[in-house]
Structure 1
Amino acid sequence: MDALDALINRVSAPRLIEPAPTAEQREQLFRAALRAPDHGQLRPWRFLTIEGDGRHALGDLFAEAIAGKYSEADEEALTKARNMPLRAPLLVVVIARAQEHPKVPAQEQVLAAGCAAHAILLAAYAQGIGGVWRTGELSHDPIVDAGLGLADNEQVIGYLYLGTPQRELRAAPQADIGAFVSSWPHKN
């Protein structure tokens, strides 16, 4: 697939089934991630892959976090949390790990980790793999962070759900570029 095609036409695939990406495909995903913009060559990211029974363990961790946050959480809410990781055969947890640096602020490092996540999604799309980037309250929950083994300088950027699209992908919507781009200084 042409790079511009992937950049312009990538869409999220929220309905994913087996099979998960192969080992060879995963290698390409992470090679793409490591090419994200990285001022200072800090590599301010890391990735956790979760599949198989690990998805059930993550679901239990999510339910624990929901129960800890909401004392009134009923069994339906806990079951929903447990089932969240089962929506794809492979999850990649993208973690930003900001480091002290005199020229590269923490915010720039977090953005670099976000670019790495986006590169994974683009590489997935280019290989015919469905993917969707999910966040939400469990992306910044202390119980989940501890369960995933995050250090104090780390934060979850998001969960990339990857697998085979269950249905044909929709066409990418085409936005009016002029609504988002302008010249500066403005000419009267």
Structure 2
Amino acid sequence: MTDIAHPDTLDLQTRRRSVPPPALTGPGPDPVQLQTLLTIAARVPDHGKLAPWRFIVFEGEGRLRAGEALAALYAADHPEADAKRLDLERRRLAQAPLVIGVVSRAAPHVKIPEWEQLLSAGAVAMNLILAANAMGFATSWLTEWYAYDRRALTALGLDETEKMAGFIHIGRPTAVIEDRVRPNLADLITRF
């Protein structure tokens, strides 16, 4: 039997941490890197080969166009919002050089439970994060209010049956981010 350990992969998974989008800068992934990231992200367990997910790539000016739509919705719901808050909403998807929306297309199926389809979308997001970190980028997986607002989802191109599994912000870290306290595994493990 050959040694199948991959210490670099294990090291990456041990030290990976989220970096807030305001602490991410460019350059982001180039077109070849982006294609590689999406290819790796799509290599997940997918019972029935349904691909119950898809991607929305927010890059360049597209990040700002999406932000304008979000800011308009926020302003309509919060007439008291000042210019600073509206600018924050406008820049939600423009802080990192690249944001990839992972859209869940889970739907009733005669054989494949929706729950398994949802888990597959989560695996896509995590594969994307690990691949980006392996390339030397930093990431943050966020949802925020607009991931749950049907008007915002429609403005971002989702149909009425789709849900946003998350927005993966990708860039280069501008600072070293301290690790957060991790759960005590002894509290999370039982044996049968």
What TM-score results when the alignment is normalised by the length of structure 1?
0.89
Residue matched to 1:8: 14
What's the RMSD between the two structures over aligned residues? 1.8
- Read off the aligned partner of 1:80 and give its amino acid letter: L
| Structure 1 residue runs without a partner (length 5+) | none
Contact 1:10-1:172 within 8 A present in 2 as well: no
| Structure 2 residue runs without a partner (length 5+) | 1-6
Residue matched to 2:92: 84
- Read off the aligned partner of 2:71 and give its amino acid letter: A
Distance in 1 (CA, whole Å) between partners of 2:109 and 2:57 is 28
Residue matched to 1:112: 120
Structure 1 residues 94-153: Cα deviation after superposition (integer angstroms, max 9, x where no partner):
100123311222232122111101110011111111110111111111221111221122
Contact 2:18-2:139 within 8 A present in 1 as well: yes
Tell me the number of residue pairs that the alignment of Structure 1 and Structure 2 aligns: 184
What TM-score results when the alignment is normalised by the length of structure 2?
0.87
Q: Which SS does the other structure have where 1:86 is aligned?
A: coil
Residue matched to 1:162: 170
Contact 1:16-1:130 within 8 A present in 2 as well: yes
Matches within 5 A, 1:121-132: 121-132=129-140
User: 2:109 aligned with 1:101, yes or no?
Assistant: yes
Q: Which SS does the other structure have where 2:67 is aligned?
A: helix
Distance in 2 (CA, whole Å) between partners of 1:176 and 1:98 is 33
Q: Which segment is superposed worse, 120-129 or 28-37? A: 28-37
Residue matched to 2:75: 67
1:75 positional shift:
3.0
1:170 positional shift:
3.5
- Identity, in percent, stands at 35
Residue matched to 1:34: 42
